[in-house]
Chain A
Amino acid sequence: MSALLEIRQLVTAYGKIEALKGVTLDVEQGSITCLLGPNGAGKTTLMMTVAGILRPKSGSIRLAGEEITGRPPHAIVAGGIALVPENRLVFPNMSVLENLQAGAYQRRDREIEADIGKLFERFPRLKERSGQNAGTLSGGEQQMLAVARALMSRPKLLLMDEPSLGLAPLVVEEIFRIIVQLHQDGVSIFLVEQNAHMALKVAQHFYLMEQGKVTFSGTPGALAEDEVIRRAYLGSAKA
């Protein structure tokens, strides 16, 4: 059985500069897969390429066996991939409710309202603030909203680009609790993180990317065993 997301020899360039130099990785159905790496490694470029916002120069991306390389972003969302972009990027002057409705722009079914109701159960704080402009929410609440908005498209695969970025430690823990809950509900998650400690607690598989290439692939155990990675991403103390 093939993986949910299969990326093969993916190259994405900004002009002549290749940010991805032949990336190959898999995200298994029902897993949390985490991509670690320093700033400038190409993690966000990879996310944007999978989401269709950037066009790859070569290589292939397959979702559930279907070739989706080079499709425009709206077709990718329709195909079942939702991106929670870096820095959250909610629509600041639209209400929380309108942001959630925006997540369902692709849908034409009658269950949109019911889905909003379910998300409000999952995120009671968003319900309290449903009429408020998204720009007035705290960073953690905006992150919840960005996740909830992405879920509104009923994705097969959720891409999360550094959900912990710029959030206080307690809020980061809350976001990771949400990630675990989503996983338990059967959502497959491909997560970019710099916070390796938190990621180690939730993810089943890790990739490390450096300078546009995957330099490590393995389980949390293998990651924690790797001396070099441990020093660079987890500090010298044993995890």
Chain B
Amino acid sequence: MDFYFGLAQIIGVHTLIGLSAYIVLLTGQVSLAQAGFFAVGAYVAGMLTVLAGWSILPALAASSLLGALVAGAVGFPALRVKGLMLVIATLAFGEVVRLFFFNFDYQVAKGGVKLGPLGGEGFRQIRYFPENGWTTMQVMLFIWLFVALVMAILWWFDRSRYGAVLRAVGEDELAAQSVGLNLTAVKVSAMTIGGAIAGLGGGIYAHYTTHIEHASFGILLATFALAYPILGGLGSVFGTVVAAIFVQGFLIEGLRFLGDWRNLLFGALILLAMNLRPKGFLDAPTLQWIRRLFGGKSGAA
């Protein structure tokens, strides 16, 4: 059973980083910086529990806050450029963060053992959960509590005026300006919220793996972050979780029996999924169908 709990942990954390990209994508911005915010969160939360002896909840609050601050600071200059330029700018930022942690040493001796980040070696022994006797299932439930919380907040955003504002900017920037939206404020706010979610996800990730290193926060993670909301569909937050289950649960774990052939099939299946569901797993008709299923009103979505 622990295997499935472990898998659910991975899916939960990947859903979080996917949701951090989701809110930015709503404004029409493609950001490869989410892995960078995730890395910041991971290192900050790890250092706070291991070196400063903080409890997990304040450490996650701090990692989320720092993720938001960094994202807001990056957002201001980065969001002045558009489209492919933004992709490259955010990619560059992600690499800067990764290389920072590649070079970052901050070790403190605790009970005869040196603990803390050690450059390319990474940051080992982030043992808050085992030290406090959490079982795999408890950690899994803890993670999904946060996933549910973030999804609920984003779902509520989506139904509010703020969600409409984000989508308006994503649909047409000129039209959004002509109805009086402040593009910079809208984009930076989405980036900041995305950074908070990624920082939270990183903080959780550091604690369930117990060992983090720069290589985990590269372009691959940044690509996954974008892939979930795009694959799942931008119509609803639930698309992102469906896609994370599809990629992490089915494509990566479910096909493990195929050995090295899996990697080849992985790409082919993603292509196939995108061709069969060009607007995402949960596109507008599917969402309406689900709504009807639950007895809600169809029509105005």
Show the binding face of A for B, using Cβ within 8 Å.
Answer: 51-53, 72-74, 76-78, 82-85, 89-95, 97-98, 101-103, 105-106, 130-131, 149-150, 152-153
Can you list 10 A-B pairs, Cβ within 8 angstroms, ordered by A? A51-B178, A52-B177, A77-B178, A83-B178, A89-B172, A91-B167, A91-B172, A93-B167, A94-B167, A105-B180
- A97 B300 Cβ-Cβ under 8 A: yes
Which 10 A-B pairs have CB atoms at the shortest separation, nearest pair first? Answer: A77-B180, A89-B175, A131-B300, A73-B177, A106-B180, A91-B171, A83-B178, A74-B182, A74-B180, A102-B179
Q: Decide yes or no: A93 and B180 within 8 Å by CB, A98-B164, A131-B300 being known contacts.
A: no
Query: 1/0 per position for B41-59, CB-CB distance to A under 8 A?
Result: 0000000000000000000
User: Min CB distance, A138 to chain B, in Å?
Assistant: 18
- B180 A153 Cβ-Cβ under 8 A: yes
- B300 A95 Cβ-Cβ under 8 A: yes
Q: Give A225 to B186 CA distance when docked, in angstroms.
A: 50
Q: Give A103 to B300 CA distance when docked, in angstroms.
A: 18
Q: Give A168 to B182 CA distance when docked, in angstroms.
A: 34
- A102 B300 Cβ-Cβ under 8 A: no
Q: Give A51 to B179 CA distance when docked, in angstroms.
A: 10
Q: Give A98 to B180 CA distance when docked, in angstroms.
A: 15
Cβ–Cβ < 8 Å partners of A85 in chain B:
174-175, 178
- A78 B180 Cβ-Cβ under 8 A: yes
The number of chain B residues touching the other chain, given as a range, is 10 to 19
Known: A94-B164, A103-B179, A105-B179. 12 other contacts (CB 8 A): A53-B178, A77-B179, A77-B180, A83-B178, A89-B175, A90-B175, A95-B300, A97-B300, A101-B161, A130-B300, A150-B178, A152-B179
B residues 154-184 touching A (CB-CB < 8 Å): 161, 164-165, 167-168, 171-172, 174-182
- B174 A89 Cβ-Cβ under 8 A: yes
Cβ–Cβ < 8 Å partners of A78 in chain B:
180
Cβ–Cβ < 8 Å partners of B301 in chain A:
95
B residues 257-301 touching A (CB-CB < 8 Å): 299-301
Cβ–Cβ < 8 Å partners of A152 in chain B:
179
Q: Give A110 to B161 CA distance when docked, in angstroms.
A: 14
The residue in B168, B177, B299, B301 that gathers the most chain A C-beta atoms within 10 A of its C-beta is B177
Q: Decide yes or no: A131 and B179 within 8 Å by CB, A85-B174, A105-B161 being known contacts.
A: no
Q: Give A101 to B177 CA distance when docked, in angstroms.
A: 14
Cβ–Cβ < 8 Å partners of A74 in chain B:
177, 180-182
Q: Give A93 to B167 CA distance when docked, in angstroms.
A: 9
Q: Give A153 to B177 CA distance when docked, in angstroms.
A: 13
Q: Give A101 to B179 CA distance when docked, in angstroms.
A: 10
Nearest residue in B to A53 (C-beta to C-beta)?
Answer: B177
User: Min CB distance, B64 to chain A, in Å?
Assistant: 28
Nearest residue in B to A89 (C-beta to C-beta)?
Answer: B175
- A73 B171 Cβ-Cβ under 8 A: no
Q: Give A83 to B165 CA distance when docked, in angstroms.
A: 18
Q: Give A114 to B299 CA distance when docked, in angstroms.
A: 22
The residue in A77, A91, A101, A106 that gathers the most chain B C-beta atoms within 10 A of its C-beta is A91
Cβ–Cβ < 8 Å partners of B177 in chain A:
51-53, 73-74
- A73 B180 Cβ-Cβ under 8 A: yes
